[in-house]
Amino acid sequence: MPRQTAPAPWWTRTAAIAAAVMLVACVLAIARCAGSDRSGQMEAAQPATGGDEPVASVAPASTQPETSAADAAAHARRTQAVSEAIDAVHAYLQAVGAQDFETADALWQPNRRPAAQDESGLRELGPLRALRIQNLSPALPTGNEIPASLEVPVQLVAHLESDGPVRLNGHYRMRRDPVRARWEISGASLRLVIR
């Protein structure tokens, strides 16, 4: 005797129909998006003309990658320059932490030296067990040009040999010396953080 199956409940048929309708809608939407991308490209490549009007020449496609390559190279030079400025701040702070003030002073602009209040007495803290240096990203002007000056924000934790940690926050102003092709410190503003 053949086995009879009960008809499928109405909700399974409805779910199957809804899934098929959604699949068709997705396919049509994808086809419409792909078609609009192609038609936009064709319109840009073949400008509409009326009658015998001359068609304006279109720049060759090869100039776009050249511009992108030039932008990428300029961005790389700028990133390298900013990295060098940050490295100069780190070198200065490491020299101060090691109490090597001659090396530290050489990283300032000629004939400049920080006033004690500008660095909240960082140099006067005495021998340090460790100096943790954390810099934040400098604010940069828009564009890809190498800035002539910038401020490098820093957060310092100085571990003293005789006492607990001292926290300082602030920034160092950096100026690029085009003659010596290096970054020099032109100013500082550090403040003691009390916790």
Q: What is the pLDDT of residue 93?
A: 95
Q: What is the pLDDT of residue 54?
A: 47
Q: What is the pLDDT of residue 65?
A: 60
Going along the chain from its start, the domains and CATH numbers come out as 68-193 (3.10.450.50)
- Measured distance CA(154)–CA(92) in Å, rounded: 12
Q: Which strands form 182-193's sheet, in the order they lie side by side? A: 128-135, 149-160, 165-177, 182-193
Low-confidence ranges of the chain (pLDDT < 50): 1, 5, 33, 36-51, 53-59
Write the DSSP assignment of the chain as a string of letters: -PPP-PPPPHHHHHHHHHHHHHHHHHHHHHHHHHHHHHHHHHHHHS----TTPPPPPPPPTTHHHHHHHHHHHHHHHHHHHHHHHHHHHHHHHHHHHTT-HHHHHHTBPTT----GGGGTTGGGG-SEEEEEEEEPPPP--SSSSPPSEEEEEEEEEEEESSS-EEEEEEEEEEEEETTTTEEEEEEEEEEEEP-
Q: What is the pLDDT of residue 124?
A: 87
Q: What is the pLDDT of residue 70?
A: 84
Is-above-0.85 flag for pTM? no
Residue that has been written with the tokens 């003293």 in this structure: 160
Q: What is the pLDDT of residue 15?
A: 62
Q: What is the pLDDT of residue 181?
A: 87
Q: What is the pLDDT of residue 149?
A: 93
Q: What is the pLDDT of residue 91?
A: 96
Q: What is the pLDDT of residue 26?
A: 55
